[in-house]
Amino acid sequence: MLHTRYQRIIGFFIRVLISLVVWELLFPRLGLKGLVRRTRAERLEKIAIRYRAMAIRMGGVLIKVGQFLSSRVDVMPPEITRELAGLQDEVPAVSFEAIRAIAEEELGVSLESKYHSFNSKPLAAASLGQVHAATLPVDTPVDNTITQPALVNVVVKVQRPDIERIIATDLAALRKVGQWIRLYRPISRRVNIPALLAEFSRTLYEEIDYLAEGRNAETFAENFKGDPGILVPSVVWTHTTRRVLTLEDVGGIKITNYDEISAAGIDRKDVAFRLIKTYLKQIFEDGFFHADPHPGNLFVRVDSDQTGGLPGELKWQLTFVDFGMVGRITPQARIGMRDLLVGIGTRDVDRIVGSYQTLGFLLPGADLEMLKKAESEMFDRFWGKSLSELKQIKMEEMTDLAYEFRELLYDLPFQIPQDIIFLGRAIGILSGMCTGLVADFNAWEALVPYTQKLITEEGTGSVEKIVDEIGKMVRKLLALPARMDSIIGKIEHGELGMRTPQLERQVAKLEGAVLRLSGALVFAALLLGSVQVYLDGHLWLAVGLGSGAGLTLLWVFLKRV
């Protein structure tokens, strides 16, 4: 069974790679560039549709891979990311007997002795685990003298059967495919395939460790313990192992059930703003964020305790569940993110580009001035618009912007760390939720107050920063004479050179063209020589020259890839 699964995954990607080689490498060299360009979007979309169908049918790692690829807007074509963006982690449920066997093996006793009741019908079935409702018996004091049994509602997540073997099989197939993709230069020159697979494998194995998920939930709850508007279910550690996770059932209204939220008397705009505010805290203060905020993991719940609020004010809570996928932001990255947010809030393009460098986003040789110009232009065109207004921007305007910065888009001088990719995916999902809650939701209204808060916090240390800046300037002034002397010396010896990314690109293209032209001349000479000696009757020499011509042509072909 697992061998057949391996072969199916390998077979799918072999067909995809053959299609890419034929359409993207062979056909353009046969003069069919126009046909390739016209059909590219449709072909890529069909590949994504076929992958999505296979992922839903086979489950396992494939759904997670699809979700992962849908978030990689930095390396994947938009036709792929759009089609895979809606891939939900929902698969057919496995039998209750299989779930029971795993749970009882992990807990060491029967379900009946561990739980008061255990619903055999699953609440949800995902690619890695399955969730069931259950109840726990608890002795609850009554009148301080008598105790009587009460029931606590819980949800129990149990790993799917053989999931670790399935993961190992799928990852082995993906590593084999990764070895082939490394030979395809249009992808390998932009993506570190081994690093990408290693990062994906790490996060996947973290997600099937329910002890780690329980600790993540407690970390998140600790970060928001002072906020009564955020609720995180408690972990029942006595009923939790590496493959079984038992959590308090907190209930609530699914965040995309908009009519139910309104019917409960909760302002949907307040929900959207609380959601954004919560993530701003996770990103810029905690450095620890819920990386999978899809609608099944977020709920709105009317608070049972309505005391202490303003008269007529309804108290409600935003509830987070499922902490299998979390992201962590390093202190340096957090500084970069803060600089980025302050730069956006104050429209400071220098600070924005500086934040890209702090975050490690930029590849060596990136054209910083071109980036600043692009950022400035985007502010002029899009600043302050709501999400619904952004959707109404005419395609011609986007095309003009893309044409103006075509060199920058062609090079795409960015490399995005994986946790930031998770963050980008989470923000993309959040923007969709907020627009669903409030059609004309304006993210700037949520961002600007938080930006002002960060600027105010920076001001508290203004004296220290001023002293630090003065120190930097003094050091630069003291070093200036020596640097000037060094520059003058280089000029005198003819050692001073200038580097601009555009000039380097043009030179590299010219060098490549010269090499290919030289190869073409060698090919032509060998081919003509082969024909000539064949006509003279020297068969083996003709074969040798012809082979040399073929190898030269192959070299020219590969240099163009």
Asked whether the predicted pLDDT for residue 31 surpasses 90, the reply is no
- Give residue-wise pLDDT tens across range 131-177: 999 999 876 444 444 444 567 899 999 999 988 899 999 899 988 88
Band (pLDDT 50/70/90 cuts) for residue 558 is: low
Average pLDDT over residues 91-114: 92
**270 vs 248, 266, 292, 434, 529, CA distance in Å?**
26, 8, 21, 10, 80
Asked whether the predicted pLDDT for residue 229 surpasses 80, the reply is yes
- Count other C-beta atoms under 10 Å from residue 400's C-beta: 12
pLDDT of residue 82: 77
Residue type, 473: M
pLDDT of residue 541: 67
By DSSP bridging, strand 230-231 and strand 316-320 are parallel
Q: What is the CA radius of gyration of the chain?
A: 30
Check if the beta carbon of residue 521 is closer than 8 Å to that of residue 561: no
Average pLDDT over residues 58-66: 80
Q: Read off the tokens for 16.
A: 């995809």
Higher pLDDT: 438 or 538? It is: 438
Burial class of 536 by CB neighbour count within 10 A (0 to 12, 13 to 18, 19+): exposed
**281 vs 156, 287, 539, CA distance in Å?**
29, 8, 77
DSSP notation for 74-90 = TTS-HHHHHHHHT--S-
Nearest to 432 by CA among 126, 70, 91, 79: 70
Asked whether the predicted pLDDT for residue 90 surpasses 70, the reply is no
Higher pLDDT: 6 or 427? It is: 6
Residue type, 234: S
Burial 61-92, CB ≥16 within 10 A → b, else e: bbbbbbbbbbbbbbbbeebbbebbbebebebe
Asked whether the predicted pLDDT for residue 115 surpasses 90, the reply is yes
Q: Looking at the chain, how many residues does it have? A: 561
pLDDT of residue 266: 92
Band (pLDDT 50/70/90 cuts) for residue 22 is: confident
pLDDT of residue 247: 94
Q: Which residues, 6+ apart, have CB-to-CB distance to 222 below 8 Å?
A: none
- Count other C-beta atoms under 10 Å from residue 383's C-beta: 10
- Give residue-wise pLDDT tens across range 275-312: 988 988 998 889 898 988 877 789 999 877 666 555 55
Angular region, 73: left φ>0, alpha ψ -120 to 50, beta rest: alpha
pLDDT of residue 437: 87
Band (pLDDT 50/70/90 cuts) for residue 408 is: very low
Q: Which residues, 6+ apart, have CB-to-CB distance to 238 below 8 Å?
A: none
Check if the beta carbon of residue 319 is closer than 8 Å to that of residue 231: yes
- Give residue-wise pLDDT tens across range 176-217: 888 887 777 766 666 667 777 887 788 788 888 999 999 999
Q: What's the CA gap between 142 and 152, in Å, rounded?
A: 16
Lowest mean pLDDT of 249-258, 260-269, 442-451, name the range. Answer: 442-451
Say what percent of the chain tops pLDDT 90. 20
pLDDT of residue 135: 94
Higher pLDDT: 364 or 411? It is: 364
Band (pLDDT 50/70/90 cuts) for residue 262 is: very high
Residue 290: strand, helix, or coil? strand
Check if the beta carbon of residue 195 is closer than 8 Å to that of residue 172: no
Higher pLDDT: 278 or 521? It is: 278
- Give the DSSP H or E segment for 471: helix 462-492
Burial class of 216 by CB neighbour count within 10 A (0 to 12, 13 to 18, 19+): buried
- Give the DSSP H or E segment for 121: strand 117-125
Higher pLDDT: 296 or 253? It is: 253
pLDDT of residue 109: 94
Please list the alpha-helical segments (H only) found in 323-461. 331-346, 349-359, 368-382, 387-391, 395-404, 406-411, 418-437, 443-460
Q: What's the CA gap between 296 and 27, in Å, rounded?
A: 45
Q: What's the CA gap between 373 and 401, in Å, rounded?
A: 11
**436 vs 206, 261, 441, CA distance in Å?**
31, 12, 9
Band (pLDDT 50/70/90 cuts) for residue 417 is: low
Q: What angle do CA 217, 292, 393 make, to 5 degrees?
A: 145
**92 vs 36, 48, 130, 160, CA distance in Å?**
38, 21, 10, 11
Q: Which residues, 6+ apart, have CB-to-CB distance to 368 below 8 Å?
A: 353, 362
Q: Which residues pair with 135 in a beta bridge?
A: 117, 153
Say what percent of the chain tops pLDDT 70. 62
Asked whether the predicted pLDDT for residue 129 surpasses 80, the reply is yes
Average pLDDT over residues 54-62: 83
pLDDT of residue 107: 94
Long-range contacts of 79-82 (CB under 8 A, 24+ apart): 79/40, 79/41, 79/44, 79/45, 79/48, 80/44, 80/45, 80/47, 80/48, 82/45, 82/48
Asked whether the predicted pLDDT for residue 117 surpasses 70, the reply is yes
Average pLDDT over residues 248-277: 90
- Give the DSSP H or E segment for 33: helix 33-58
- Enter the DSSP assignment of 95: P
Band (pLDDT 50/70/90 cuts) for residue 372 is: confident
Higher pLDDT: 238 or 375? It is: 238
Nearest to 168 by CA among 74, 92, 88, 60: 60
Higher pLDDT: 327 or 536? It is: 327
- Give residue-wise pLDDT tens across range 443-496: 667 666 776 676 666 654 444 444 454 444 444 444 545 555 555 555 555 555
Q: What's the CA gap between 451 and 347, in Å, rounded?
A: 11
pLDDT of residue 41: 86
Asked whether the predicted pLDDT for residue 406 surpasses 70, the reply is no
